[in-house]
Structure 1
């Protein structure tokens, strides 16, 4: 076997070193966008291993909408690795962040057998105006990675956002809910009717956005809806 591809890759790595998207240190051969040290130290929730009664994400949806699985991969800590990774994904165009984390999480969920509860993965959509400005939907990247890890198809067009809303960042839970309560609709009911859907987003805060998406999917005939995010903020 020729050594040329390996030698070329080593030379390219010396001239244009790839760096960890969490800490900016150089990656070693075989590391996938996030170095082994950062991967080891990421604040995993492990909520998928807990009974529903002990899952703090699930409790946020009690009495609001029925959610089969409430999943979040990482804890969002200000000024930590997770915030840096999400900034890279959302504002620096590093789609690989969502794809890598999605694959890793999807693999863990598959090992738990949870993948058998999903027929379709649906990312929370951006309004076309915001999508045109940003150039991509960060939730699509996570959905794509999850689809690979779970071996479940995903659709970036199943849901659509009908109104351009203000940022949720500075709003409380009630304001967030009113901001998004009626802005999501199913683009093609036939594509989701009868399917067990996993709807995904980048960060879970109050849950208002995901709650609105779940309600729209149930109204369109989904018998079971679950949610998953890259990270969740503590409440």
Structure 2
């Protein structure tokens, strides 16, 4: 019976081969979601080894953070963009979990991230959530939680209103667009806790700054930030 299943699986793979979510080449039998070549050659930042990295510097003088990190550099037309497209728009939630575990394996080497109490994803508005069916930042957070000690809390920080597209706005306009968008439902739960705020891609950091500003109203809260990719 197992032999028959193996033959059937091989036949199905010939007709419908699984493709790497990054380069779209056919995956080998022992590969999952991302091929070995891409796993080795993706543009890792290694920001877990650089306390004053580019992402951390985006928040200097704006909000106090313990540490900031991103897994990849993002370039248009590159393999990271392919990954993010499959993840956000093609329903491949498992990519987010995998990338979260990959990021977590780096972050456990950094003492600051080992003190995280809660991992909080940037929330989607309920209308966007209904359209997409899942929050990509929550998928990433769940992968991180498999490696870090923090617990995922995706119910406490909420988005009160939908916002306009940020694509063609300046950094100030983006931040202004996010004012009074977020709210913490149970701030007492986060008193004196270390929160890791996570999102998929960071560009100007305005969304993360707005979320962070909201969270940092809570007494004693320490804030760190992690994303999948950094787009210059």
Whether TM exceeds 0.5 here: the answer is yes
Using the alignment, how far apart are the partners of 2:7 and 2:224 within structure 1?
A: 46
2:60 alignment counterpart: 62
| Count of residue correspondences | 231
Using the alignment, how far apart are the partners of 2:12 and 2:144 within structure 1?
A: 30
CA, structure 1 residues 219+5, in 2 after alignment: closer, same or farther (shift >3 Å)? Answer: farther
What are the equivalent positions in structure 2 for 1:114-193 lying under 5 Å apart?
Answer: 114-193=112-191
Q: 1:33 touches 1:97 (CA, 8 Å); kept in 2?
A: yes
SS of 1:149's equivalent in the other structure is coil
1:51 alignment counterpart: 51
Deviation at 1:102, TM superposition (A): 0.7
Deviation at 1:217, TM superposition (A): 1.1
What are the equivalent positions in structure 2 for 1:211-222 lying under 5 Å apart?
Answer: 211-222=209-220
2:201 alignment counterpart: 203
Deviation at 1:206, TM superposition (A): 0.6
1:40 alignment counterpart: 40
Question: What is the root-mean-square deviation in Å for CA atoms of aligned residues?
Answer: 1.8
Deviation at 1:115, TM superposition (A): 3.5
SS of 1:225's equivalent in the other structure is strand
Using the alignment, how far apart are the partners of 2:187 and 2:9 within structure 1?
A: 47
Where does structure 1 lack aligned partners over 5 or more consecutive residues?
none
1:89 alignment counterpart: 87
2:78 alignment counterpart: 80
Using the alignment, how far apart are the partners of 2:79 and 2:147 within structure 1?
A: 22
> How far does the alpha carbon of each residue in 1:64-108 deviate from its partner, in whole angstroms, 9 at most, with x for none?
100111111100111101111111111111112211111111011
CA, structure 1 residues 218+4, in 2 after alignment: closer, same or farther (shift >3 Å)? Answer: farther
Where does structure 2 lack aligned partners over 5 or more consecutive residues?
none
> How far does the alpha carbon of each residue in 1:175-232 deviate from its partner, in whole angstroms, 9 at most, with x for none?
1001112101112113322210000001101111001111111113352100011001
Deviation at 1:114, TM superposition (A): 4.2
SS of 1:210's equivalent in the other structure is helix
Q: 2:51 touches 2:68 (CA, 8 Å); kept in 1?
A: no
SS of 1:136's equivalent in the other structure is coil
What are the equivalent positions in structure 2 for 1:3-18 lying under 5 Å apart?
Answer: 9-18=9-18
Q: 1:32 touches 1:100 (CA, 8 Å); kept in 2?
A: no
> How far does the alpha carbon of each residue in 1:9-66 deviate from its partner, in whole angstroms, 9 at most, with x for none?
44443343221101111111232201011111111111110132xx111111011100
